[in-house]
Amino acid sequence: MMPPAVVIVGRPNVGKSTLFNRLAGRRAAIVHDTPGVTRDRQETEIQAGDLVFRLIDTAGFDEAETGSLAARMTEQSLVAIGSADVCLLLIDARAGVTAGDDILAEAIRRTGRPVIVAANKSEGRTTDISDALRWGFGEPVPVSAEHGIGISDLFEALAPFVAKAEYEDDGPEGGDATQPLKLAIVGRPNVGKSTLFNALLGEERVLTGPEAGITRDAIAVEFEAAGRAFLLHDTAGMRKRARAAGQPLEQLAVGSGLTAIRFAECVIVVVDATQAFEKQDLAIADLVIREGRAVIFAINKWDCIEDRAGAVTALKEERDRLLPQIAGAPLIVVSARTGEGLSRLLPAVLAADRAWNSRISTAGLNRFLARAVERHPPPAVRGRRIRIRYMTQPKARPPSFALFGTQLNALPESWMRYLANELRSRFDLAGSPIRFSLHNSKNPYAER
Ligand code: GDP
Ligand code: GDP
């Protein structure tokens, strides 16, 4: 695979060639003192620490010619920008932000590519460049291409878009479909867990065989459905209880529920449609989430609901309001007794399992992050901006994300929830808990 592309964009004479040569680690070969001297587009491959990328210098903005600067962006430059993994918009810190910079920034924004702004010629006396913040591309990285200052900061800013993720090796993408998916059914007493358990397995299988053998030997039963093998945890002898019709039902102690949750990859939380999302339901769901398992809500006894219009929407609203930490998790209305809706349950489990196993590329994550921050910037803390430089996904099962930047501990809960919800909708993570770790980064790249 080709290394990711970093495309340098900037007005004539801001120092693109000089920076290109500096990043490439070689003496300036072709630098022009005359603005607008045309030259060929340069491209080189750069390796620095664990970064590998193609550096592309766009030429072709000629201020001597007529027409708007944007109109004069050559076809070739626009193509280069459009295919960039990240654009490096270079401005001149001595000249300040000019109308030409504004036009370039706008043209780049329209391509939707992530952007890092660098303010060159920052080695000495500089002009106020705070106007660059209006673009929403974040704070410019001060550099001096000529004097080799700030280059490591620039590499650090580029890292999220060009660094390879260091993944833990815990299975192939989307989980190992050749292994049975471990599933558990939990919920407060009397919501219909045993009935659902038996409905999923098929009555006849459950009712055969000597009683003692069934209930004592196995803690889980295997079955196949929806094109996949499942291993279903038999919590507190659900099969036995289901058969003991008319007997008083034992309580599902949280203890046995916890064993089931820890056994499982995906957990079906059964909720009684006639008394949905009560305190105990929430406590159980919260436990499943804290244990890091995928969650699917089965709203059971749907046959008891007469007024169904708008009921599902209301349930989903309640789910997101009361359990924002798993907003959007699959919610399937079923009747374990009549079988209604049951065919939709296991496909929802498979979707949640896919979400739970998801791995997202670092480049994809950072394109996402740039937009999420642009749309809804984190607040300033004591007048200082919280700066999120980049994010990676160090592990799956459940998806866990590492954020790197400064003052990250000051990120409010509400913003983290926003980020989690954006991640869920952008990368189809519904049903999976999402974990974050915050790293206030030090600079790992040496000056060069
Ligand atoms: P380009 O047209 O954007 O490719 O700009 P060049 O790389 O050709 O540089 C234009 C001029 O700016 C040259 O005279 C460079 O020597 C000068 N220059 C480049 N970088 C710096 C810098 O960091 N500080 C200062 N003071 N001058 C620089
Ligand atoms: P558990 O304690 O969660 O395992 O619940 P059970 O499966 O033992 O069911 C508790 C009661 O609810 C029993 O009387 C079931 O017959 C009844 N029940 C279970 N599922 C349904 C359903 O879908 N609709 C109705 N109306 N009743 C159900």
| Of 188, 193, 195, best ligand 2 pocket probe by most atoms within 8 Å of the beta carbon | 195
List, chain by chain if needed, residues with CB within 6 Å of any ligand 1 atom: 10, 12-18, 31-33, 120-121, 123, 144-147
| Of 185, 186, 188, 190, best ligand 2 pocket probe by most atoms within 8 Å of the beta carbon | 190
Mean pLDDT by 10 residues, the chain (448 residues): 84 92 68 47 78 79 51 67 88 94 88 89 91 89 95 87 51 64 92 90 50 48 87 69 44 60 94 96 94 97 94 96 96 96 95 94 89 92 84 90 88 94 95 91 42
> Token pair 């660059």 is at which residue?
132
If DSSP codes are grouped into helix, strand and coil, which group holds residue 30?
A: coil
| Of 31, 55, 89, 122, best ligand 1 pocket probe by most atoms within 8 Å of the beta carbon | 31
The answer to whether 327 and 414 are in contact (CB under 8 A) is no
190 CA distance to ligand 2 middle (Å): 6
Instruction: Return the pLDDT at 92.
Output: 97
Residue 206 tokens, joined? 């459950």
The answer to whether 356 and 266 are in contact (CB under 8 A) is yes
CA 365 to chain CA centroid, nearest Å: 6
Mean pLDDT of all residues in the chain?
A: 82
d(CA 131, CA 120): 15
For the Cβ of 152 lying below 6 angstroms from any atom of ligand 2, the answer is: no
State which amino acid sits at residue 119: A
Closest ligand (CA of 30): 1
Residue 23 tokens, joined? 């990043």
d(CA 159, CA 153): 10
9 CA distance to ligand 1 middle (Å): 14
Instruction: Return the pLDDT at 175.
Output: 61
If DSSP codes are grouped into helix, strand and coil, which group holds residue 38?
A: coil
Contacts of 135 (CB under 8 A, 6+ apart): 102, 105, 109, 115, 117
Closest ligand (CA of 245): 2
CA 425 to chain CA centroid, nearest Å: 9
d(CA 184, CA 390): 36
Closest residue by Cα to atom 12, ligand 2, is 192
Alpha-carbon distances of 263 from 200, 225, 226, 291, 422, rounded to whole Å: 18, 20, 21, 10, 29
**Rg value, the chain, Cα:** 28
If DSSP codes are grouped into helix, strand and coil, which group holds residue 66?
A: coil
Residue 296 tokens, joined? 């699917």
- CB-side neighbour CA atoms (13 Å) of 343: 1
Closest ligand (CA of 118): 1
If DSSP codes are grouped into helix, strand and coil, which group holds residue 308?
A: coil
How many CB atoms are closer than 10 A to CB 187? 25
Closest residue by Cα to atom 17, ligand 1, is 15
Q: Which of 56, 117, 60, 57 is nearest to 92 (CA)?
A: 117
For the Cβ of 293 lying below 6 angstroms from any atom of ligand 2, the answer is: no
pTM of the predicted structure, to 2 decimals: 0.60
d(CA 433, CA 325): 7
